[in-house]
Amino acid sequence: MLLKAFALLPDDLVTELASLGILTSTDLMFSSTTPLEMYSRLSSKSISFPEFEACIKVILTKLATSGQEAVELDQPSHSCFKMETLTSLDNYLDGGLPCARVIEISGDNDSGKRILLLNCVLMSLLRNREIEGLWIDTTGDFVVERAVQILEYHQQVEAIFSSVKRWSNCVQSLDDMEILLQRLHISIATDMESVQQIIRALDFQLALQASSIQMKYIVIDSVTSLFGPYLSAVSSQGHAIMAAFMRYLRDFAKRYSLINNATLMQPRSTARAQTTAEVTNPRSVFASTIRKPALGPSFTFMTDATLWVSLWPAQEEDEEKFTTHVVEVFRSKFSVSNVWSAFRIAASGALLTDCTTAS
């Protein structure tokens, strides 16, 4: 790192060190001369030797990696929150989607990806009264009434609350449902600048030690509408904007995973193919899958996992009551890949018991 990049170093000192051939922090740290010999070679003594040593210490502190005591390694990790999805899919994900991760959920139009994610988010709020979530709507398609219908459906299924112990604290009244929905924060942002302002404001709040926010996940629905206008075949500026934003999201997730167990997800819709030839997606196990994620192959490596949601190839006769869908794990850094699980969505939008078919 260039010494002039350190704002705390005096400009005169940086200039004199450059005249001695010391331009970077590497030159300074691995110099064969001692700090005293280096100081004696400076033409002007604008600072004292103790101040010169303090400047070196500042550089070393900025570049050093913080240590960790061995006793802390044996302590159980606080980043154990996982968002449960489908029972059959969670078996492959080791219990659900983990925190401190950036997950991409893709799919064609009307594939059910938004409904699947909304069900998972709401059920997470039902099972834990302490957590909160942020849903950033970039298309204006979020419908509060649909969320209420989903909650009402799961509330009516008495067997769910009685058969699973961890759901014993679920909502039992309309007042409880209203309190639950207050823990799902909805923000509308139609451009990249607005989304960045929202996330940076949350970053500032979470950075406060006294903050009582228990944010567990952030949903950006969808990122295609954010990055699409910037991407071009003749310029790399859009790709740079996308890479910088995704890098910040990854750092944001990791920094607060132990405190707030933040799990970040990006559901997005897939644009229509520009070619008339239907080419099967090689990552899918179904020959009917001819679509691919919209933001190109490089976006895949900016996330920790890629989940693809689509309609089940052969729909059943009773399509007015429910539709059958399938979610595939195209790629994952924390679980097995190339697995899939089928599920059903009711006409109200509620996620029905997932199908037994899985592989």
In this predicted structure, the answer to whether residue 270 has a pLDDT above a threshold of 60 is no
Decide: residue 109, CB within 10 A, 0-12 exposed, 13-18 middle, 19+ buried: exposed
Helix (H) or strand (E) run with residue 339 in it: strand 339-346
Pairing of strands 215-221, 339-346: unpaired
* pLDDT, tens digit (0-9, with 9 covering 90-100), for 126-159: 888 888 899 999 989 899 899 988 888 877 764 4
CA distance 355 to 302: 31
Mean pLDDT over each residue of the chain, to the nearest integer: 79
What's the pLDDT score for residue 165?
46
Cα 47 from Cα 44, distance rounded (Å):
8
List pLDDT tens digits, range 175-196. 677 888 889 999 999 999 999 9
Closest CA to 289 of 328, 324, 257, 319: 328
Cα–Cα distances (Å) from 59 to 45, 54, 199, in that order, read 20, 9, 30
The mean per-residue pLDDT over the stretch 208-229 comes to 80
Stretch (H or E) spanning 118: helix 113-127
Query: Looking at residue 139, what DSSP letter applies?
Result: S
CB contact set of 71 (below 8 Å; sequence gap of 6+) = none
Confidence band, pLDDT 50/70/90 cuts, at residue 257? low
195-221: burial string, b at 16+ Cβ within 10 Å, e else: beebbeebeeebeeeeeebbbbbbbbb
Question: Residue 184's closest CA among 120, 145, 109, 134?
Answer: 134
Q: Of 101, 80, 100, which Cα lies nearest the Cα of 257?
A: 100
User: CB of 217 within 8 A of CB of 263?
Assistant: yes
Tokens, residue 187: 């923000």
Question: Span 197-203, mean pLDDT?
Answer: 91
Nearest of 355, 308, 359 to residue 87 by alpha carbon: 355
Q: Which pLDDT does position 13 carry in this prediction?
A: 83
Round to whole Å and give the CA distance between 355 and 169: 26
- How far from 317 is each of 85, 110, 289, 323, 324, CA to CA, in Å? 26, 19, 21, 10, 11
- Dmax (CA) of the chain: 88
Question: Are residues 157 and 351 in contact, defined by beta-carbon separation less than 8 angstroms?
Answer: no
Q: Name the residue among 141, 111, 138, 142 with its Cα closest to residue 292.
A: 111
CB atoms within 10 A of CB 92: 18
